[in-house]
Amino acid sequence: MTETMNAAAFLDACAVDPDVLLLRPDYRALLLVVDGSAADAFDHNADAVDALVSAAETRARGLLAERSADELPHVASWRDAYRAFGAKPQRTRNSLEALTRRAELALPRVNALTDISNAISVLHQIPLGGEDLDRYQGPARLMRAAGTETFDTVVNGETILEHPEPGEVVWCDTAGVTCRRWNWRQGRRTSLSNDTRTALFILDALAPVSDEALHAAGDALVEALSSGTGNVQVSKRLVAA
């Protein structure tokens, strides 16, 4: 986010392209800008993060004891959305499915902000990604890629540049792609870290998830982030057709 753009202006400038909504008119994105919830603020409150992650793992085990991951209602909707733009959901799983499957055994531990957002994603069954807003260049935009955009990722321990497939649904800023295949894989440039001070969280919803359930997930995320320090400032916007 540029120094001249505050949180409200940033959120107002974020957009979902009409071509994406033609694929899924039921799509909604809840965008949260959270300022003041640094990962290192949880150093004295690691037990709270551990408890949240443990609750998510228990939730995943309960869900997957009743049905397979691809039969979970929101996961199934995202599989259909991936097929709509040409992705193979069994090969590139949406983030909700990938995290729920991993949580059955154990969620990966990265840093406090990422661990919290992953846990909320599983608990509320909502795809949820976090970005370091200070590393953004311009507003966030969800669009269908031309195929020439750049995406930085890590392969075999080395950072490389990739390009999305033409027509692929991607989040981007003016510098390049920040997340491929809607919510499949986030880039390195804007990823959350222990140095993050202002974060952008994107919560994705398709039917049958209601707006109320989407906002409940956002509220739970803010509550968890506030446990590290009571000083967070939150701005939010719901983007829908």
Q: Could you read off the pLDDT of 146-190 as tens digits, one per residue?
A: 999 999 988 877 888 999 999 999 999 999 999 999 999 999 999
pLDDT in tens, 187-211: 999 999 999 999 999 999 999 999 9
What integer pLDDT is reported at residue 202 of this predicted model?
98
pLDDT in tens, 11-39: 999 999 999 999 999 999 999 999 987 66
Query: What is the spatial distance between Cα 167 and Cα 169, in angstroms, rounded to a whole number?
Result: 6
Q: How confident is the model at residue 54 (pLDDT cuts 50, 70, 90)?
A: very high
Tokens coding 163: 């390009």
Is residue 204 classed as helix, strand or coil in its secondary structure?
A: strand
Residues 6+ apart with CB under 8 A from 43: none
Tokens coding 30: 């809840």
Give the residue carrying structure tokens 């955009």. Answer: 149
In this prediction the pTM is 0.95
Q: How confident is the model at residue 78 (pLDDT cuts 50, 70, 90)?
A: very high
H helical segments located in 45-111? 46-66, 73-84, 95-103
Q: How is residue 176 annotated by DSSP? A: E
- Helix 46-66 × helix 95-103 angle, to 10°: 100
Residue 67 in this model has a pLDDT that exceeds 90: yes
What integer pLDDT is reported at residue 42 of this predicted model?
74
Peptide bond before residue 208 is cis, with ω within 30 degrees of 0: yes
* Mean pLDDT within 87-98: 95
What integer pLDDT is reported at residue 158 of this predicted model?
82
Residue 2 in this model has a pLDDT that exceeds 60: no
**74 and 209 in contact (C-beta within 8 Å)?**
yes
